[in-house]
Amino acid sequence: MRKVCFINGSPRGEGSGSRFYIDELTKLMDTTASDITHFTVIETVKRKNYEEVFKSLLEMNDIVFVFPLYIDCLPASVLDFITKFEEFIKENRIRLKDGGAPRVYGFVNNGFIEGYQNKYALRILEHFCERVGLIWRFGVGVGGGEFMAQTAAVPPNSKLKRPVHKAYLAIVKDIENNNNDNKDNILTNPNVSKNMFIFAATINWIKNKKVKIRDMFKKPYLS
Amino acid sequence: MGYTATKVDSVNIGGLREMKAFVVTDKTCSDEIRSDLRDYILNEITKNNYKYELADVDSDEISYCIGCFGCWLKTPGVCIFNDVGRKYAKSCIESDYIILLTPVKYGCYSVAIKKALDRLIPIVLPFFKKFNNEVHHSPRYKKYPQFVVVGYGNDISSEEENTFRKLTLANAINFQKEKSLTYICRNQEDVKKTITDCFNDIAKEYSGVNE
């Protein structure tokens, strides 16, 4: 049985879009062939049980980091997590052998429609893997992150969501087949035009505001 | 506290608008190269009679951004966490230049600097616009500081440098600028040249703004 771990790197934890994506990926996995574990970065921060989590991760066959894009890259909490992971590996002089090191995937979603805006976050994860000796497989960058999570009722294999569904399948198949061939990152988004996306997002922000519309434009820091 | 609001009054020379910099460094990094770069940056600022504010970020004194959207939907423009992160957003938007001094880690900023950056998101609106046919956040304010980044480390690979430069450009665009001024310093011998080049470019930019 393959040991697979999903790491939820969203600072929002369980109620997050990242949790939605982890659930979508998990639904597609053959749970008779994979033993699936979940960790949440923000819970690790609260419990301060980094060492216990890192030891578990090093026993995995596959690790999938799932998180939202923050300022074009990793949220600071995820960056902190991987930095501490490297320190743990170095301090304990753990040598990760090529054949036995865990394989790592990244799954990043952003609020803009273009999935390619996630590419630097995936590169940063790849650089981390190279530094510590983990095996980087590939990553998926999904645009329209909130849009995807809020249209959960629309089937994942619908025309609207099919490109993202294919990306889920790419990760799941790579894990289950234990593939070793080189793969490029998959940068994709739901099938919706930019203008329609911007319009839908505007309506969504207005719908969820807790203040008057004009107050959303306040400039508190300039007199 | 990891925040020092140190203001130096400038001299108004020849009618030029007074230039103000917000300098952000990683206090948790004890490398000598950081200390030298910081000293050279502050020397250049005082030599040029620029105004400035300085934040030596202590990672333990600033909360993570938790992505709650409070700064967009509940208290527009202001983070719900009342800590130094609020001061960083204020200092940033009140400045002509934000100068980030950061170790380069995996082609990214250090944790302390990334924490500070994440907490700047209140200075943009939740609404989207198109720039270069890409979706980005709309501006909350009329003016944003030029993005200047000095990255350092003695073991930065060329791929990590490439990622870092592209990341800082993407960040500058999301903070409403068309470019980032990004410099990499790999050893102490290069500190003076790095900062001299940086401030020569800032001076060229600034004189362009004032023409």
Task: List all residues 6 or more positions away from B203 whose beta carbon is below 8 Å from its beta carbon.
Answer: B48
Q: What is the pLDDT of residue B59?
A: 93
The letter for the amino acid at B68 is C
* Cβ–Cβ below 8 Å for B67 and A12: yes
Contact A216 B93 (CB under 8 A): no
CA B78, A73, A197, B135 dihedral sign is positive
Which token pair is B138? 């709309």
Kindly indicate the confidence band of residue B16, based on its pLDDT and cuts at 50, 70 and 90: very low
Structure tokens at B48: 């040029």
List, in order, residues 6 or more apart from B58 with CB less than 8 Å away: B1, B2, B27, B28, B112
Please state, rounded to an integer, the average pLDDT across all residues of chain A. Answer: 94
Closest Cβ–Cβ partner in B105, B126, B128 for A83? B105
Of A69-73, A82-86, A219-223, B28-32, the one with minimum mean pLDDT is A219-223
Give the pLDDT of residue B159. Answer: 98
The pLDDT value recorded for residue B206 is 79
Return the pLDDT at B18. Answer: 81
The minimal CB distance from B90 to the residues A128, A211, A221 is found for A221
Give buried/exposed letters for A13-29 (b at 16+ CB in 10 A, else e). Answer: beebbbbbbbebbbeeb
Across the interface, whether the CB atoms of A216 and B174 are under 8 A apart is answered no
Mean pLDDT of B188-200: 96
pLDDT computed for residue B9 by the predictor: 38
What is the per-residue pLDDT for A182? 87
Q: Which of residues 155-174 of A touch B (CB under 8 A)?
A: none
Output DSSP code: residue B107.
T
Confidence (pLDDT) at A199: 94
Distance from CA of B42 to the nearest CA of A (A): 25
Residue with tokens 């970065």: A41
Rounded-to-integer distance, Cα B132 and Cα A201, Å? 19
In chain A, pLDDT over 90 holds for what percent of residues?
Answer: 86
Closest Cα to residue A42, out of B80, B64, B99?
A: B64
Q: Which pLDDT value is given to residue B7?
A: 43
Q: CA of B113: which chain A residue's CA is closest?
A: A76
- Here the tokens at position B130 are 């198109």
Given CB atoms, is A210 within the 8 Å cutoff of chain B? yes
Residue labelled with tokens 């890192």? A54
Cβ contact B68–A12 (<8 Å): yes
pLDDT in tens, B118-131: 999 999 999 999 99
Q: What percent of chain B has pLDDT over 90?
A: 84
Q: Which of residues 43-102 of A touch B (CB under 8 A)?
A: 45, 68, 70-77, 79-80, 82-83
The string of pLDDT tens digits covering residues B2-11 is 455 444 433 3
Q: Which tens digits make up the pLDDT trace of A89-116?
A: 999 999 887 668 999 999 999 999 999 9
Which of B82, B96, B111 has the most A C-beta neighbours within 10 Å, making it the best mutation to test the interface with A? Answer: B111
Spatial strand order in the sheet of B146-152: B3-4, B51-57, B20-26, B97-103, B146-152, B180-185
- Residue B5 is predicted with a pLDDT of 47
d(CA A128, CA A163): 27
Q: A199: nearest CA in chain B? A: B128
Q: What is the predicted pLDDT for the residue at A145?
A: 87
Report pLDDT for A223.
59
Helix (H) or strand (E) holding B97: strand B97-103
Show which of residues 137-196 on chain B sit within 8 Å of chain A, judged by CB atoms.
140-141, 157, 159-160, 163, 166-167, 170-171, 174
Specify the pLDDT at position B17.
Answer: 57
Tell me: the pLDDT tens digits for B91-128?
999 999 999 999 999 999 999 999 999 999 999 999 99
- With residue A66 as reference, give the H or E element that holds it: strand A62-68
In order, the DSSP letters of A71-139 are TTB--HHHHHHHHHHHHHHHHTT----TTTSPEEEEEEE-SSS-GGGGHHHHHHHHHHHHHHT-EEEEE
- In this structure, are residues A147 and A140 in contact, taking their beta carbons and an 8 Å threshold? no
Mean pLDDT of chain B: 91
Q: Which of A212, A221, A223 to mutate to test the interface with B (most CBs of B within 10 A)?
A: A221
Q: What is the pLDDT of residues A126-185, one digit of tens each?
A: 999 999 999 999 999 999 988 887 888 898 889 999 999 999 999 999 999 998 898 999
- Could you say which of A77, A79, A201 has the minimum Cβ distance to residue B108? A79
| Statement: residue B181 has pLDDT above 60 | yes
Name which of B90, B135, B171 is nearest A112 (Cβ-Cβ).
B135
Query: Does the structure show a pLDDT above 60 at B210?
Result: no
pLDDT of residue A202: 95
Please give the torsion angle defined by the CA atoms of residues B157, B158, B164 and B169, in that order, rounded to the nearest 10 degrees: 170
- How far is Cα B12 from Cα B194, in angstroms, rounded to an integer? 27
